Structure 1
Amino acid sequence: MSGVLAYHQAKLEQGEFLIQRCTACGKHVYYPRELCPHCGSMSLEWKAPKGSGVVHAVTTVRRKPADGGDLNVSLVDLDEGVRLMSRVDNLAPDAVKIGQRVKAKVVNGLVLFEAEGAK
């Protein structure tokens, strides 16, 4: 792995979540790219997102308890306008709902989410 992907992963391993923003068209980009997928510019800068977003879609993956039990797989739309696949970590898999507000966190080099207001 090299270039923007290596940089992105290194930052995640340091606990820092970054997305890109195109300085030509102003749109945010995620997953990291060498070129802006919106306008083709190579003028991308790294930005720390607010990390807040909303669950766009969710499914529950059924696993045996010996394999770690069920987990959710969620598509999350960040407030910056990018969508990523992850999971909501602080709720039971069946409790994650479309439209739910979530907040990003980095755990062991992965971007995970917590439902806002959940305990």
Structure 2
Amino acid sequence: MLSPVTDPDGAPFWQYAAQGELRVQACADCGEPRFPPRPCCPYCQSFESEWLLTDGHGRVWSYVVPHPPLLPDYAAQAPYNVVVVELAEHPRIRLVGNVVSGAGAPLNSLDPQRIRIGAKVRVTFDRGLPQWVLS
């Protein structure tokens, strides 16, 4: 499993994920959520932020099934999916991940033919990494 590369702005995202919480950064002044995390609000230019707990529900906004040639570690797991999930509570927030058959399941645990744009999903976590399961 790949480890996330963290920076000061995104580190809280991964800290909350390690606790099993999906949170998104929001402006503490105007309240607008934003992702990816960054120091300045693109709406009001405030440098104040907070982390909003989400209910972890969303829908598949887009997806792809990578095909060879792939990096060796990923080729062994093909076919697998990479999805963009739009959060139900915050429709402008979209997160990249994978839909798996259940918590902790491998990348290739769900037949990619089961995924459809618009499919409802909910977050699950595997060692601090957010993944998605069909709802």
Fold in common (TM above 0.5): yes
Q: Which segments of 5 or more consecutive residues in structure 2 lack a partner in the other structure?
A: 1-5, 102-109
1:89 matched to which residue of 2? Answer: 100
Gaps of 5+ in 1: none
Name the CA distance, whole Å, in 1 between partners of 2:75 and 2:60: 28
Alpha-carbon RMSD across the aligned residues, in angstroms, is 2.1
The 5-angstrom pairing of residues 69-108 of structure 1 reads 69-79=78-88, 80-81=90-91, 82-90=93-101, 91-108=110-127
Q: Distance in 1 between matches of 2:57 and 2:75?
A: 33
Letter in 1 for 2:86: D
Q: Which moved more, 1:24-33 or 1:8-17?
A: 8-17
Letter in 1 for 2:14: Q
C-alpha displacement at 1:66, in angstroms?
Answer: 6.7
Q: Which has the higher strand share?
A: 1
2:65 corresponds, among 47, 60, 66, to 60
Aligned length: 116
Equivalent residue letter for 2:81: N
Report the TM-score when normalising by structure 1.
0.83
